Structure 1
């Protein structure tokens, strides 16, 4: 329900509504309208957004409230159960513990990149990419679908790649090589008399 009042020569509206996720009573206030009619039109548009999306405040929505609602209402019906289960698990175990009490507009690129770097110390590159993909998609929707955030601060974040480990080169010692070559000889009375080719091949490889 919207309420209106005049402050000086400007009008403002105040919308009172119940958060669908938490059940708590919340308010949305905005002023600066020249006439009461302008305030009423703006309030009506805002009430439609609240009713349709469940989100209202421009960037002031708590990450915890937003992403849980986003998962339940906008992801669960549109993905396979196994996909939803994996996304919900990553949100619950990784995203919410770190970002739940932040507001959407409080997330900065620098702080988020540090968090991604920390995750790479615990998880593989692929796992971190999946976690980041979920969060980035949620933030993208906050900007382009729900219009509650002006821009997505984490859209160009870089996930550190896997560091290629040098493989240990295994080789024969001189003694082992001599022993091997001494055994790569044709077997007396063997069916395949040309097996000497192996002696020649490995001697060439070993001595080149």
Structure 2
């Protein structure tokens, strides 16, 4: 049974303490109330929280965000290395400098919103959202562990991400960029005509190239979180078979000739993994500059943007949404449509034309 008891502090002043049984059936005591009414209000709030199933052990919510963040980070075993590295960067660079010494119970919704507002003046919309996501994950973990009643990161107003215009290359532009990228012209062509992610291409092994069927078995990928080469599964964790056009057969045959099944198809100048950062600085940047100088309409692209070109060229060749989804390794056709809705505008025109013909034939 809950009780309210007066006591005297060292200065001889009468204060009040509350004894109650918590939701976990343990005896608790809260001291320091200046008036009996304050103690009664606290007791009412405790009983009300217990009735609603929202009671939180005050001791558990007094943990600092910095300490709890490490428990949360250690628990993220499901993340791919690149994502995990990104979370670590956001933690060390932005989250911990602001929240490390703040107790979980002292993180307020308004304080989080103020922090996000400040972040948005220094970071882009995407980076701001990613950083907020990390703090939200830490506090969600605290809610699930019974340390907080609710997540103060919920319903925070975040900056909008504006979709930049994609640079889709034409067949001629792909050829131009490839020619300027020697000795890695075939890397440019493979990315632009298969839609492989960089890590999937860099991690491609000889045994996974079927020259007869013109298929690539995409079952693993390599990433470089913080410069460390790490092997794992493709982004969606799903294995897939990707076709490649016949004109690439000769280049791939040369790449695999004399190699063992477990050897890499594409390698860097040191014979190891072909690293994205090295490729961009040593070959791609110069090739892009040359291509743009020769063609005023040549868009400024990155190696990853060649994946968008692959989608564009596939759609223009008549591929449907499901085929593009499977080629790119998206989780669903809906995701493909969300990402590349602009590529299917002609389909909408065809629908309107078909409806018009049907209507006219009935008139």
The TM-score with structure 1 as length reference comes to 0.50
Contact 2:129 2:159 in 1 (8 A): no
Partner of 1:126: 126
Partner of 2:333: none
Deviation of 1:161 (Å): 2.8
CA distance, structure 2, for counterparts of residue 111 and residue 33 of structure 1:
32
CA distance, structure 2, for counterparts of residue 115 and residue 9 of structure 1:
40
Partner of 1:98: 98
Partner of 2:67: 65
Q: SS at the partner of 2:62?
A: coil
Q: SS at the partner of 2:59?
A: coil
Deviation of 1:106 (Å): 0.5
CA distance, structure 2, for counterparts of residue 56 and residue 116 of structure 1:
27
Larger Cα Rg: Structure 1 or Structure 2? 1
90-99 vs 129-138, greater mean Cα deviation? 129-138
Matches within 5 A, 1:102-117: 102-117=102-117
Structure 2 unaligned spans of 5+: 6-17, 28-56, 164-363
Deviation of 1:115 (Å): 0.9
CA distance, structure 2, for counterparts of residue 153 and residue 95 of structure 1:
15
CA distance, structure 1, for counterparts of residue 160 and residue 122 of structure 2:
13
Structure 1 residues 33 and 119: alpha-carbon distance in aligned structure 2, compared to 1, 3 A threshold: closer
Match status 1:79 vs 2:79: yes
CA distance, structure 2, for counterparts of residue 152 and residue 9 of structure 1:
31
Structure 1 residues 58 and 124: alpha-carbon distance in aligned structure 2, compared to 1, 3 A threshold: same
Contact 2:126 2:161 in 1 (8 A): no
1:32 aligned to which of 20, 24, 36: 20
Deviation of 1:56 (Å): 8.7
Query: Hey, which bits of structure 1, 4+ residues long, moved more than 2 A?
Result: 30-34, 55-58, 160-164
Deviation of 1:139 (Å): 1.1
CA distance, structure 2, for counterparts of residue 135 and residue 160 of structure 1:
16
Contact 2:4 2:19 in 1 (8 A): no
Structure 1 residues 9 and 83: alpha-carbon distance in aligned structure 2, compared to 1, 3 A threshold: same
Structure 1 residues 102 and 61: alpha-carbon distance in aligned structure 2, compared to 1, 3 A threshold: same
Matches within 5 A, 1:42-57: 57=59
Matches within 5 A, 1:6-25: none
Structure 1 unaligned spans of 5+: 1-7, 11-29, 41-54, 165-208
Match status 1:152 vs 2:151: yes
Structure 1 residues 161 and 9: alpha-carbon distance in aligned structure 2, compared to 1, 3 A threshold: closer
Contact 2:65 2:101 in 1 (8 A): yes
CA distance, structure 2, for counterparts of residue 79 and residue 62 of structure 1:
24
Matches within 5 A, 1:153-172: 153-161=152-160
CA distance, structure 1, for counterparts of residue 96 and residue 137 of structure 2:
15
Deviation of 1:31 (Å): 5.3
Partner of 1:197: none
Deviations 1:84-103 (A, max 9, x none): 11101100110000000100
